[in-house]
């Protein structure tokens, strides 16, 4: 059983999702720490600012508080590596990024001796063993999760579209914020697998959850992202500049607007979740509860983590 975190001690956390932490947080934390160390070794010149460190504990222990300990630890290691890899790949020209993705996908498919096109592919060695390690922990559920990972890499935001409309942007962003990965590992760590019918029934809830995560991430990561120069014509992927442009708002007002949209998105998602809990199967009920804990963990970590909340270079 996980422990509840008293969120009233962090007044900036404006959401109302409950937040829990894994009973084995020190063990879970080893996963994300291992990924950070690996990146520091492979690409010492890059900034390896953690996506997991926070004053209340490891992000993955907070996002997956009810997960199996070993699986949650491995999930943390893989996701942390993926996000650090994203940081690096974002700065690459589109062609090179596509090549990198193709290599990683091949590795996840089980082809371990894919040719290494260039030095940057060193980074992808991180994913070399991910597949086998996942299979060793869970031969039944892992093929599904590996499929989710491969789909993420296929659909990865490679376009340079500019969005002028917040609804259009949010629709794109919902599936492009890493939500598939985060919710997929939520299911993998807790053994919650939906059948086809259950997947259909929960589809709106799934999309609504993705919207919450997208807006929450944009709200909290904006201060960091606006300081960073990102080498892409479309600029920073964030709702704040879209809102500023669409409604001619200054930055401060656009942030408040984004906060309001996040609260609205949360209310809608929660309502759908409660409806599902009234009528859904036992699996659906567990799925809704775990998703709510994931939203709480993701939002609370974002609201308190040094990555987003301290002035950095
Ligand atoms: Mg962001």
CATH number at residue 56: 1.10.600.10
* CA dist., res. 185 & res. 291, Å (int): 11
Residue 222 Cα to ligand 1 middle (Å): 6
Mean confidence (pLDDT) of the chain = 87
Per-residue model confidence (pLDDT) at position 116: 46
Q: How far is the CA of 237 from the centre of ligand 1 (A)?
A: 7
> What is the CA(218)–ligand 1 centre distance, in A?
5
12-33 residue pLDDT tens:
999 999 999 999 999 999 999 9
**Interval between CA 114 and ligand 1 midpoint (Å):** 31
Q: What percent of the chain has pLDDT over 70?
A: 86
Measure 207 CA to ligand 1 centroid, in angstroms: 18
Better-predicted residue by pLDDT, 97 or 269:
269
pTM of the model: 0.90
Distance 217 CA to ligand 1 centre (A): 5
Mean pLDDT of the region 108-120 = 56
Tell me if 72 sits within 8 A of 22, measured CB to CB: yes
- pLDDT: which is higher, 164 or 21: 21
Distance of CA 56 to the CA centre of its chain: 18
Q: How far, in Å, from the CA of 11 to the mean position of ligand 1?
A: 21
Ligand 1 centre to CA of 239 (Å) is: 9
Q: How many other C-beta atoms are found inside a 10 Å radius of the C-beta of residue 228?
A: 14
Give the count of domains, the chain.
1
Strand partners, 4: 20
| pLDDT-derived band at 109, boundaries 50, 70, 90 | confident
Distance 280 CA to ligand 1 centre (A): 33
CA 87-170-63 angle, to 5 degrees, is 55
Question: Domain containing 48: what range?
Answer: 3-309
What's the CA-to-centroid distance between 224 and ligand 1, angstroms?
8
Q: How far is the CA of 238 from the centre of ligand 1 (A)?
A: 6
Give residue 310 CA to ligand 1 midpoint distance, Å: 15
pLDDT at 231 over 50: no
**Residue 271 CA, ligand 1 centroid: distance in Å:** 26
């Amino acid at each position: 059983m996980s422990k509840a975190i008293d969120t009233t001690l962090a007044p900036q956390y404006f959401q109302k999702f409950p937040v829990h932490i894994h009973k084995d947080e020190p063990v879970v934390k080893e996963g994300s720490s291992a990924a950070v160390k690996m990146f520091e070794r492979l690409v010492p010149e890059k900034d390896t600012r953690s996506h997991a460190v926070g004053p209340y504990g490891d992000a993955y222990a907070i996002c997956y508080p009810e997960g199996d300990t070993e699986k949650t630890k491995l999930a943390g290691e893989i996701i942390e590596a993926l996000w650090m890899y994203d940081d690096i790949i974002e700065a690459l020209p589109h062609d090179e990024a596509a090549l990198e993705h193709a290599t990683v996908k091949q590795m996840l498919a089980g082809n371990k001796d894919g040719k290494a096109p260039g030095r940057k592919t060193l980074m992808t060695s991180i994913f070399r063993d991910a597949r086998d390690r996942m299979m060793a922990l869970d031969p039944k559920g892992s093929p599904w999760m590996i499929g989710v990972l491969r789909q993420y890499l296929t659909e990865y935001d490679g376009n340079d579209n500019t969005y002028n409309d917040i609804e259009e942007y949010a629709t794109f962003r919902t599936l492009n914020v890493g939500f598939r990965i985060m919710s997929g590992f939520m299911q993998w760590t807790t053994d919650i697998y939906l059948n086809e019918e259950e997947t259909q029934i929960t589809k709106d809830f799934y999309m609504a959850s993705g919207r919450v995560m997208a807006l929450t991430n944009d709200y909290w990561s904006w201060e960091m992202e606006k300081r960073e120069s990102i080498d892409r014509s479309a600029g920073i992927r964030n709702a704040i500049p879209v809102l500023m442009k669409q409604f001619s708002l200054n930055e401060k007002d656009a942030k408040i607007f984004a906060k309001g949209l996040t609260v609205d998105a949360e209310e809608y998602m929660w309502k759908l979740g409660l409806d599902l809990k009234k009528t859904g199967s036992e699996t659906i009920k567990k799925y809704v509860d775990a998703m709510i804990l994931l939203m709480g963990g993701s939002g609370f970590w974002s609201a308190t983590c040094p990555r987003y909340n301290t002035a950095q270079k």
